[in-house]
């Protein structure tokens, strides 16, 4: 309620004083005026749970603004303070407003007194943010991960106008609606270089997403360099240069850790394994035609020479144990994603070896879901015995397989009918994340971010207990038609819509009004070097006039209008009156 009341007062001020905002969207057609309400400049994304801000304006002197913490020797906070100083004060020509009270400092307080090693599923990201003319800026959190979110919010509240810094007297209490807020990036269909992955992680932190789901290998290529099985990448990668060494992986994980982002790798089996078979063909089940295995790459009915791992061999599971023991050591998260989607049955169905194996185990000839369950259960148990927890896709559960209830299931099918899958799988007692309605690789003309924004992971006909099993959601970008030339612009700000849906309250669902904040956030990301695509026609101020190469981490998007200077006194005077109300 505090957000809505203060927001309405601000709208009144904006209209009466004609305050110019940094980012400015306009209509598609003069016959179709924009709907919704404009937000004041410096409005954060995602929208905080409790945001009480007065019109009382303050300013910052960039040459005298200490940013400190009372948690000693914590690299997460120390590096965050350094990073956010750079984000706040990108332009040396912007300074304090001589007519406004100057904020004396920023202080970060961590009540747990613990510097986190790696964020986890139950990480506490709650924070409090207070901005006051006398006390300065205070960010308080129980864990360092919450402090990171508070620093991001503060960096968004600060805006520039006529080459001066401004921020409102503000009080925020905020925490995410869902603990799991992910982004999947596929690096197998097209190889994405490490610096670009780091840029993706940077943008994720600007949007408070906290899980990087790294779909690192697939049929097309195996770019991960295994020390135990180097032939996987030697023969499975596109080239010796299209690979991720373990040093590369460590760099990604550390970069993500410092931003409160988990890195969960996905190594998908029993299907999607063509690249594994280039080095170890004996792991895969060959498809059979005319009583013999396929000899060509492609066989009958559009199937490949081999498609699934071979569950009849102990060698397969011994390999998996050795391989995943390395993966768990290299990737630091408590979870591993085992995929297990789209295990097409044709190769199993055509193989006499598989038929004999199923008969020996008492399976009926058409009970291939039991074979899938057999394979999945063995691999899940292997990974659990090595000390990791497991994600899988919905397919095995959908086929009737029974796996450990501690397994987290990703619902990815259904598009408009994903709610049925969410109901069924949560009813079976599994915890779930939703990705069905957040496929960013699908594009359409117009404001398609709105459909992502309106897809609520808990919006299905289930009991409250079922809805409580929804841990969050995940935007996904599959790279069949995406590479470094269009990855970032396709991700943002469409991924920002998913981020707010997963962080903010369920009642925050007015896309017309959100468009104004999203546009400001899009300009904000552009100022920070993220080539986010437009929301609607409009402009990002002077940023639009700079060469593209000069935009990255340079001059902030700022107003070129004289209106701000003529309205600052208006806002300052009205601020006292409005502040008294609160």
Q: What is the pLDDT of residues 117-151, one digit of tens each?
A: 999 999 999 999 999 999 999 999 999 999 999 99
Q: Does the structure show a pLDDT above 60 at 551? A: no
Ranking 44-48, 301-305, 533-537 by mean pLDDT, the lowest is 301-305
Residue 571 is predicted with a pLDDT of 37
Statement: residue 579 has pLDDT above 90: no
State yes or no: pLDDT of 202 exceeds 50: yes
- Of the pLDDT bands very low, low, confident and very high (cuts 50, 70, 90), residue 558 is very low
Mean pLDDT for the stretch of residues 95-102: 96
Torsional sign, CA 572, 576, 577, 580: positive
Distances (CA, A) of 306 to 48, 283, 356, 358, 399: 50, 10, 18, 19, 21
Closest CA relative to residue 191, chosen from 158, 168, 225, 161: 225
Q: Which pLDDT score is estimated for 50?
A: 97
The pLDDT confidence band at residue 443, using thresholds 50, 70 and 90, is very high
Q: pLDDT at position 302, please?
A: 62
* Mean pLDDT, range 434-445, rounded to an integer: 96
Contact at 8 Å (CB) between 517 and 493?
no
Residues 544-559, mean pLDDT to the nearest whole number: 53
Tell whether the model's pLDDT for residue 303 goes beyond 60.
Answer: yes
Residue-wise pLDDT for 149-176, tens only, equals 999 999 999 999 899 999 999 999 999 9
Across 8-22, 92-106, 237-251, 502-516, least confident range: 8-22
Q: What percent of the chain has pLDDT over 70?
A: 88
Q: How would residue 2 be classed by pLDDT, with cut points 50, 70 and 90?
A: very low
Q: What is the pLDDT of residue 581?
A: 40
3-state secondary structure at position 2: helix
DSSP reduced 3-state for 290? coil
| CA nearest to 36, candidates 514, 372, 538 | 514
Residues 80-107: what's their mean pLDDT? 96
Tokens encoding 480: 């069949």
- pLDDT for residue 574 is more than 90: no
Residue 299: predicted pLDDT: 55
Confidence of residue 575 (pLDDT cuts 50, 70, 90): very low
Q: Determine the pLDDT at residue 530.
A: 97
Burial of 288 (0-12, 13-18, 19+ CB in 10 A): buried
Q: Sign of torsion, CA 199 201 205 208?
A: positive
pLDDT at 78: 98
pLDDT at 17 over 70: no
Q: Average pLDDT for residues 426-449, to the nearest whole number?
A: 96
pLDDT exceeds cutoff 80 at 508: yes
Radius of gyration of the chain (CA): 26
Predicted confidence band of residue 18 (pLDDT cuts 50, 70, 90): very low
Contact at 8 Å (CB) between 373 and 304? no
Q: Which two tokens stand for residue 366?
A: 């058409």
How does pLDDT run across 322-342, given as a tens digit for each residue? 999 999 999 999 999 999 999
Tokens of 356: 């004999």
The Cα 551–Cα 385 span in angstroms is 49
Could you tell me which of 285, 247, 287, 250 has the C-alpha nearest to residue 269? Answer: 285
pTM above 0.75, yes or no: yes
pLDDT of residue 559: 31
**Angle of helix 352-360 relative to helix 368-385, nearest 10 degrees?**
80
Half-sphere exposure of 7 (CA within 13 A, CB side): 18
**Residues 239-245: contacts with CB under 8 Å, at least 24 apart:** 242/191, 244/187, 244/194, 244/216
Residue 484 contacts residue 158 (beta carbons within 8 Å): no
Handedness of CA 79, 84, 90, 92 (dihedral sign): negative
CATH 3.30.379.10 for the 2-47+50-174+511-581 domain, yes or no: yes
Q: How confident is the model at residue 419 (pLDDT cuts 50, 70, 90)?
A: very high
Which residues are part of the catalytic machinery?
342
Residue 561 has pLDDT above 60, yes or no: no
Span 99-127, average pLDDT: 96
H/E run at residue 349:
helix 346-350
State residue 542's pLDDT score: 85
Check if the beta carbon of residue 535 is closer than 8 Å to that of residue 493: yes
pLDDT score recorded for residue 473: 98
* Nearest CA among 311, 410, 378 for reference residue 351: 311
Does residue 114 or residue 414 have the better pLDDT? 114
Q: Are 51 and 2 in contact (CB under 8 A)?
A: yes
Q: Are 430 and 469 in contact (CB under 8 A)?
A: yes
| Locus of tokens 């982002």 | 261
SS3 state of residue 180: strand
What is the per-residue pLDDT for 445?
Answer: 92
Tokens of 25: 């969207």
Tens digits of residue pLDDT in 344-392: 898 999 999 999 999 999 999 999 999 999 999 999 999 999 999 999 9
Distance CA 33, CA 119 (A): 44
Q: CA–CA separation, 45 vs 43, rounded Å?
A: 7
Query: How confident is residue 26, by pLDDT bands cut at 50, 70 and 90?
Result: confident
CATH architecture of 180-503: Alpha-Beta Barrel (3.20)
Closest to 8 (Cα-Cα) out of 580, 578, 477: 578
CB 511 within 8 A of CB 454: yes
What number is the average pLDDT over the span 562-575? Answer: 36
The partner residues of 65 in beta bridges, in order of sequence, read: none
Q: Which of 345, 367, 340 is nearest to 358 (CA)?
A: 367
pLDDT at 292: 80
User: What is the DSSP code string of 182-195?
Assistant: EEEEE-SSS---HH
CA 208, CA 521: separation in Å to the nearest integer? 13
* Domain ranges for the chain: 2-47+50-174+511-581, 180-503
Cα angle, residue 492 at apex, residues 486 and 494 outer, rounded to 5°: 115
- Predicted confidence at residue 289, as pLDDT, reads 83
Tell whether the model's pLDDT for residue 427 goes beyond 50: yes
């Amino acid at each position: 309620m505090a957000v809505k009341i203060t927001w309405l007062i601000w709208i009144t001020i904006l209209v009466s004083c004609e305050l110019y905002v940094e980012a400015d969207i306009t209509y598609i057609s003069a016959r179709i005026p924009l709907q919704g309400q404009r937000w004041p400049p410096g409005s954060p994304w995602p929208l905080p749970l409790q945001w009480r801000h007065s019109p009382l304006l303050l300013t910052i002197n960039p040459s005298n603004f200490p940013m400190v913490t009372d948690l000693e020797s914590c690299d997460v906070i120390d590096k965050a303070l350094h990073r956010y100083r750079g984000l706040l004060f990108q332009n040396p020509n912007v300074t304090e407003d001589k007519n406004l009270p100057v904020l004396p400092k920023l202080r970060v307080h961590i009540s747990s007194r613990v510097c986190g090693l790696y964020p986890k599923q139950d990480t506490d990201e709650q924070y409090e943010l207070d901005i006051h003319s006398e006390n300065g800026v205070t960010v308080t959190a129980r864990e360092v991960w919450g402090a990171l979110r508070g620093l991001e919010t503060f960096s968004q509240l600060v805006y520039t106008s006529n080459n001066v810094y401004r921020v409102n007297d503000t009080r925020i209490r905020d925490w995410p609606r869902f603990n799991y807020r992910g982004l999947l990036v596929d690096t197998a269909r097209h190889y994405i270089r490490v610096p670009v992955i780091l840029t993706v992680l940077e943008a994720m932190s600007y949007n408070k997403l906290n899980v990087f789901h790294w779909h690192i290998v697939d049929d097309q290529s195996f770019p991960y360099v295994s020390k135990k099985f180097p032939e996987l990448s030697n023969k499975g990668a596109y080239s010796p240069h299209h690979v991720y060494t373990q040093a590369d992986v460590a760099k990604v994980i550390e970069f993500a850790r410092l931003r409160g982002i988990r890195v969960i790798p996905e190594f998908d089996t029993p299907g999607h394994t063509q690249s594994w078979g280039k080095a170890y063909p004996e792991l895969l089940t060959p498809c059979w035609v005319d009583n013999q295995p396929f000899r060509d790459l492609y066989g009958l009915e559009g199937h490949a020479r081999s498609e699934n791992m071979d569950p009849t061999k102990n060698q397969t599971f011994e390999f998996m144990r050795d391989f995943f023991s390395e993966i768990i050591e290299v990737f630091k998260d408590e979870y591993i994603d085992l995929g297990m989607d789209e295990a097409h049955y044709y190769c199993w169905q055509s193989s006499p070896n598989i038929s004999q194996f199923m008969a020996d185990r008492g399976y009926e000839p058409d009970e291939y879901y039991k074979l899938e369950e057999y394979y999945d259960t063995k691999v899940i148990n292997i990974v659990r015995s090595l000390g990791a927890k497991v994600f899988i896709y919905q397919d095995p559960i959908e086929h009737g397989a029974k796996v450990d209830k501690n397994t987290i299931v990703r619902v990815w099918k259904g598009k408009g009918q994903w709610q049925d899958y969410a109901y069924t799988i949560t009813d079976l007692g599994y915890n779930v994340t939703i990705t069905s309605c957040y496929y960013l690789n699908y594009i359409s003309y117009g404001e398609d971010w709105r459909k992502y924004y309106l897809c609520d992971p808990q919006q299905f006909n289930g009991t409250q207990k079922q809805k409580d099993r929804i841990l969050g959601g995940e935007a996904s970008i599959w790279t069949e038609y995406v590479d470094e030339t269009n990855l970032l612009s396709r991700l943002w700000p469409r991924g920002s819509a998913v981020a707010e849906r997963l962080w903010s309250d369920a009642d925050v669902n007015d896309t017309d009004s959100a468009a104004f904040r999203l546009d400001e956030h899009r300009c904000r990301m552009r100022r920070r070097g993220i080539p986010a695509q437009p929301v609607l026609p409009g402009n990002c101020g002077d940023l639009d006039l700079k060469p593209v190469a000069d935009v990255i981490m340079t001059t902030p998007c700022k107003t070129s209008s004289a209106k701000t200077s003529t309205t600052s006194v208006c806002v300052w005077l009205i601020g006292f009156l409005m502040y008294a109300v609160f």
